[in-house]
Amino acid sequence: MVFTAIGALALTGCGDDGGSKDKTGDGAATGGSSKPSVTLPKLDGEKISVAAVWTGPEQANFTKVLDEFEARTGATVTFVPAQDPIVNFLGTKIAGGQPPDVAMIPQVGAIQQAVAKKWAKPVGAEAKAQLSKNYAKVWQDLGAVDGTQYGVYFKAANKSLVWYNAKAFENAGASEPKTWKDFIATAETVSASGVTPVSVGGADGWTLTDWFENIYLSQAGPEKYDQLAAHEIKWTDPSVKDALTTLAELFGKPALISGGADGALQTEFPVSVTQTFTGGDQPKGAMVFEGDFVSVNIAQTEAKIGTDAKVFPFPAVGADSPVVTGGDAAVALKDGKGAQALLTWLASTDAAKIWAEAGGFISPNKALDAAAYPNDVQRKIAEALIAAGDDVRFDMSDQAPQSFGGTPGKGEWKTLQDFLKNPKDIAGTQAKLESDAAKAWTS
């Protein structure tokens, strides 16, 4: 299976190569000299707006991609800061008569909602040609609804990684775990050294859904995963009980979590990362679980990826380590040459290369030269994602209706936050998840 191949990658031996990379691959303005990978129309004087939930370094790096589009077309592109849930944000904009031309949508379920509400516009021929040339079928299908292409997945993620403070591990005499049992044992070893082992960003409910999904995929297997993602089986299924029971082996030991359950529920995701890589060998947490995008937050510290900050695949609960992916798709909300040109650009290798070189980014574009990534760690993660081809499993909560899988303070996010606080109530957690899911899928 795909998650076997990716999980088996030896990621921790990869050192940062100091940012040196081959810049001759695809001809983007960031250093390439060969022919551009895509032809764009002239859009002199045209104004285009793009909405996304990205902030900080992610927004800054995406802006570099938009700047190059402006340089090639003559258009002016405005970034519109959006908030979660993005469907609600877009609904407000559309009701006010000011929809953005393009929205970067981070949930498959939200794309489906945008189509159902007749907001989304089909992808044009030029962008579809780029998708056909550069993307595996699975990434095209994720952006399609009932056979019509609406989304261009520009940014992907490998959400099955555990990053750790190398000095804290070394001082504790801890080694990288391969299995969930070993992971808990490693956490106990680190704890015995005087360092709290696990940092959890529980204030952001989506991180908790990722914990559950990785355990569930590894333990229950891909067929059950697909069934639960589509709500073809209920959340009261015994497989869900098994996964929550496994997760409770960590959540039920507050001494293993930085700040305990209460502290974790007050810790936002970026802080969960930075507190793992500050304080030298005495961080607030020695490990933090999340995707490749953690590297963006590590960059805000003095830790160096590959030496101070290392990474291993999410430990296997069943026979294999899991790999859960996520991503952000560009969807046109207005008809027009500008919006379609931007989709074409975002589906190109040149656009992907710009952000790949900046770091904190994984592209589903299989034509992108892996040399564009700034260090060996990100390069290996990206190569593994591309090697997975059509067998990747997409983030389960992102496939759900947004009211269940993508809304702060509601649905799966809220119920798993409650579970973090009270991990003994497995039956109650299952019942609440099923009640909310049933409502979401019938509304």
Q: Kindly state the percentage of the chain with pLDDT values over 70.
A: 92
Over range 299-313, report the average pLDDT.
93
Model pLDDT, residue 384: 82
- Whose CA is closest to 270, among 279, 262, 278, 281? 278
CA pair distance 217, 383, nearest whole angstrom: 21
pLDDT digits (tens, 9 = 90+) for 354-408: 999 998 899 999 999 999 999 888 898 898 888 877 777 899 999 999 899 999 9
Same fold, 2-11+26-158+326-394 and 161-322+400-442: yes
pLDDT digits (tens, 9 = 90+) for 287-296: 999 999 898 8
| 31: alpha, beta or left? (left if phi > 0; alpha if psi -120 to 50) | left
The domain segmentation of the chain, as residue ranges, is: 2-11+26-158+326-394, 161-322+400-442
Over range 416-424, report the average pLDDT.
98
Minimum mean pLDDT among 256-265, 370-379, 429-438: which range? Answer: 370-379
**Statement: residue 256 has pLDDT above 70:** yes
**Statement: residue 31 has pLDDT above 50:** no
Match domain 2-11+26-158+326-394 to its CATH number in 3.90.25.10, 3.40.50.1370, 3.40.190.10, 3.40.50.170. Answer: 3.40.190.10
Residues 6 or more apart whose CB falls under 8 angstroms from that of 206 comprise: 269, 397, 406, 413
**Statement: residue 26 has pLDDT above 80:** no
Model pLDDT, residue 57: 86
Longest dimension (CA), the chain: 63
What is this structure's pTM?
0.79
What angle, 0 to 180 degrees and rounded to 10, lies between the N-to-C axes of helices 108-116 and 86-95? Answer: 30
Over range 314-329, report the average pLDDT.
92
- Whose CA is closest to 101, among 346, 344, 337? 337
More confident residue, 286 or 7: 286
**Statement: residue 49 has pLDDT above 50:** yes
**Statement: residue 95 has pLDDT above 50:** yes
Model pLDDT, residue 19: 35
Model pLDDT, residue 3: 36
Model pLDDT, residue 15: 38
Q: Residues 404, 438: contact at Cβ < 8 Å?
A: no
- Whose CA is closest to 232, among 399, 35, 47? 399
Average pLDDT in the chain: 91
Over range 263-285, report the average pLDDT.
97
Superfamily of domain 161-322+400-442: Periplasmic binding protein-like II (3.40.190.10)
Minimum mean pLDDT among 7-16, 64-73, 175-184, 209-218: which range? Answer: 7-16
pLDDT digits (tens, 9 = 90+) for 215-242: 999 999 999 999 999 999 999 999 999 9
Over range 254-263, report the average pLDDT.
98
